[in-house]
Amino acid sequence: MPTQLEIIANKQRVEHLAKNEYNYGDLYGSSNTGALSDGDERGKGELNGQVGSKTDILERQSLVAKNIYNPSFGYDSNNPNALSDGDNKGKGENGGSVGGLIDINERIALVAKNIYNPGFGYDSNNPNALSDGDDKGKGENSGSVGGLIDINERITLLAKNTYNGGFEYSSVNPNAISDGDDKGRGENAGGNVGTNTDINERIVLKAKNKYGETKTYPDF
């Protein structure tokens, strides 16, 4: 005699079987209409070349209708819509032109603004690259380097500078030696080191010091 649980389980199986539209006489498989793309949303298996549900099939038909390309007008490197022929559809090379119409027109505008060209190339010999009295170029020209502003600034600084090729600042320049002024601190022939201020300060300190060469510390 079946138990209460077995009775309930059998009842549920019967209910599920009743709800299932597939049975031994109409199994769900690759040939079942519910598994094929026959114009409904149930199946997506291939049927006469169609694949997908009704929504899929209609969407593809809509996209195909919108697509201007087809087997007789394929999109490839020879298609006019892939070439730079004066429109913005394609950007492939065409007679030397590359890019859409906007690209081509932009290049033409930039070339028109550019003062340099194959006959007037910008290089180390171009007058606009040399320091020849303008501010265009800063390349060396007869020893000058920099724009006009740079050159004039250097001339101004050189005019203010007391040292030059004929009066170089070095260890023998009088302005680098302790010869009684405040310009230099290098040792002079008399053994003095420091500026005039340094030397005078030492003389004052020596005068105050009770020790000297004849009365040295600690021998006093």
- Same domain flag for 56 and 9: yes
Find the range with the poorest average confidence among 12-26, 42-56, 195-209: 12-26
Residue type present at position 130:
L
Q: Which residue range(s) make up the domain with 56?
A: 4-66
Q: Are residues 155 and 171 in the same domain?
A: no
99, two tokens: 């890019």
Under the banding of pLDDT at 50, 70 and 90, the label for residue 36 is very high
Number of folded domains that form the chain? 4
Residue labelled with tokens 């932009």:
106
Arithmetic mean of pLDDT, 103-113: 95
Query: In the predicted model, is pLDDT for residue 17 greater than 80?
Result: no
CA angle 159–195–171, rounded 5-degree value: 60
- Using the predicted structure, report yes or no on whether residue 19 has a pLDDT greater than 90: no
CB 100 within 8 A of CB 88: yes
Give tens-digit pLDDT for 60-78: 999 999 999 999 999 999 9
Backbone angles phi, psi at 117, to 5 degrees: -155, 180
- Does residue 25 contact residue 38 with C-beta atoms inside 8 Å? no
Residue 121 placed within a domain: no
Cα–Cα distance measured from residue 8 to residue 189, given in angstroms and rounded to the nearest whole number: 127
Domain check: are 168 and 202 in the same one? yes
Say yes or no: 61 and 20 in one domain.
yes
Q: Is the pLDDT of residue 9 over 90?
A: no
Residues 6 or more apart from 47 whose CB is under 8 A from it?
Answer: 36, 37, 38
Question: What would the DSSP string read from start to end of 86-122?
Answer: SSSS--B-BTTB-S-HHHHHHHHHHHHH---BTTB--
Same domain, 184 and 195: yes
Task: Please report the pLDDT score of residue 156 as a whole number.
Answer: 95
| 219: confidence class by pLDDT, cuts 50, 70, 90 | low
* Confidence band of 13 (pLDDT split at 50, 70, 90): confident
| Residues 51 and 96 occupy one common structural domain | no
- Of residues 21 and 139, more confidence is placed in 139
Question: Is the confidence at residue 220, as pLDDT, over 70?
Answer: no
- Predicted local distance difference test score (pLDDT) of residue 10: 81
Residues 34, 56: one domain? yes
- In angstroms, the CA 208 to CA 192 distance is 19
pLDDT digits (tens, 9 = 90+) for 176-194: 999 999 999 999 988 889 9
Residues 6+ apart with CB under 8 A from 96: none
109 inside domain: yes
- Residue 98: what pLDDT? 96
pLDDT of residue 212: 80
